[in-house]
Structure 1
Amino acid sequence: MKKTILITGASSGFGKTTSRFFASRGWNVIATMRSPELETELSGDPSILVTRLDVSDNASIQSAIAAGIEQFGQIDALVNNAGYGQQGLFEAVKPEKIQEQFDVNVFGMMNVTRAILPHFRLRKQGTLVNISSAAGRVTTPILSIYAASKFAVEGFSESLAYELESQQIKVKIVEPGYVPTSFYERAGAEFAYDAALTDYNTFNGEMAELFSSFAGGLNATAEEVARTIYEAVTDGTYTLRYLIGPESEPLIALRNSKPDQEYVSALRSMFMPAAFENKVESI
């Protein structure tokens, strides 16, 4: 019997690419999104069910799960992919945008997880994949809200894994670094800016110059992310974390290998070199 995976946020980016990848490997796919009526690329594949799911709408979550089970018989894996990245100075991010970031990235992910677990427990099997980020392990400037949401995903997933392993359910965390997709187009469009915060002008200028210098570097692709998700679902292990991205690997290694303050100082020297050098010279 073909296995079936449910993927949230499948209208673009990792979600759409992963839907195609699993379908090409012989899986049934429940590709969910908020506006399935706009989807034209996935709906022609008989192994892909395109249906509505809004992670903040529990009725739509239950409906999507039921529709998938009705069409394919069972669900073997869930990929919690729906999310977005709020960028900008913390003081510039409106409180309602902070709430939205957590409603989607954290509470929405929990909503879908809670809804699928009775089905997994009944079958005494299942794999839960939560899409986190390298920013859930290593922070950078102007990502405080997004990083906070992904740190929450990491902590939730790591703790939940203890509970679900008792039910033969695997929990996986996939941590992409920077991958050029429409995710970053939305992040750029929704970048939080407040012209009144002039005290940050120098800092903002330095950060803009720093991040522009990273353009054109070695980055993973959406296809590599999809392949890693497939590995996480099919490798048969209880491995918790899967990191993707050549620019992120040395930063995670630094975090794992150094005492905390040494790691913090290393990142400050990397992301705020001028300020760090001035501080060191003044000591």
Structure 2
Amino acid sequence: MEFATDPIDPLHLAHAVQAMADAQPSSISLWLLVDAALLDPARLASVLRRNEWSHVNALANTPLEAYGARGPQLLELPLDDEVRAEGLRRLATIDPAAPAFSWIASSHVAADLQACFGYLAQARHDGLKLHCRMGDVRVLPTLLSTLAEPQARRVAQAISQWQWFDRSGAVVGNWLAADGKDGVADARDHLELDASQFATLLDASEADGIFAQLLETVSQLVPQTDRAAFHQRLQRALAVATRLHVAGNPDRLQFVVLSLTCGDDFYQHPDLSDTWKTVAQGTSLSSLMKGWSDELWKALEGKAS
């Protein structure tokens, strides 16, 4: 499995967790959340055995517990700094580019954290049941940032602080529980997403979906390095496609391919102005491309070179 992320330096992971540990009072425990679906299961099991760290199904005692060892795993991190650092380095070397690791500070027991993860993972929208992959750090930042205040307070009942690396593998993202003295926490056992929240999560995941499709169809367009920058390029292309009213996955994928092969500003060519007017009226971009002249294609390809 390949990801639109850059590798994490295993030592950097150990240092980031240590920094959180140093900032916590003695009553706070540190936990690691691992999305096992993003890692080689045999290697993960081997490292966990070598570390001698006990772990539990992060979604146990929820309707999603059947994911078992292939779902998110919760590990309480040892207090010893050196033991913890060495174990984290081993885990990060399984696949440094996998967006599978986040770490949590909490004064609660594992069962409380599992209930919190079940709340986040059992998302619903307009009666539709969804599995929200909260252990995948491509999803986690948008998920936490889009929570309404009662939902954030529900998470804060179990978690004091939640951190992860961004796509560059260098910057630590951070969610800090707000002061819980005022306001009411969501009492449901699942996360109810309104239309705006649902749309935000869908938009945030689109570039990763396009990335996977590129790997399957035109892998030569996907760089082997600087994947975080490439993901940003995909996001920019998709934002332009939205402004031009390019709709539907096939046409949006086609727009991205054109951006990668003909230049990010290919759409500004004067001879394409009628194309975008027609697309805005609901016509498929792919069907319109069949009528592009050889001269236009030469101009676009020449612009890219």
Structure 1-normalised TM-score?
0.24
Look at both structures and tell me which one has the larger radius of gyration over its CA atoms.
2
Structure 2-normalised TM-score?
0.23
